[in-house]
Amino acid sequence: MDELVCHCFGLTVRDIEQDLADHGRSTLLERIRATLKAGQSRCATKNPKGK
């Protein structure tokens, strides 16, 4: 099982590694920021800690 590192966006260690391999850098933070800026955060409901 791949370790989940971001409950809000469902990202795993494998997702981060694949993003680095595909782009030579991580683009996931950009995706997260854009989603948050658009007001589409579901962290309060998806993160077990509610943050």
Kindly report the length of the chain.
51
Copy the structure tokens of residue 6. 């971001």
- 50 located within any domain: no
What pLDDT was estimated at residue 51? 55
pLDDT recorded at residue 43 = 79
Residue 26 lies in domain: 4-41
Does 46 reside within a domain?
Answer: no
Residue 12 lies inside a defined structural domain of this protein = yes
Number of structural domains found in the chain: 1
Q: What is the pLDDT of residues 8-29, one digit of tens each?
A: 888 999 999 999 999 999 899 9
19 lies in a domain?
A: yes
Q: In this structure, is residue 47 part of a structural domain? A: no
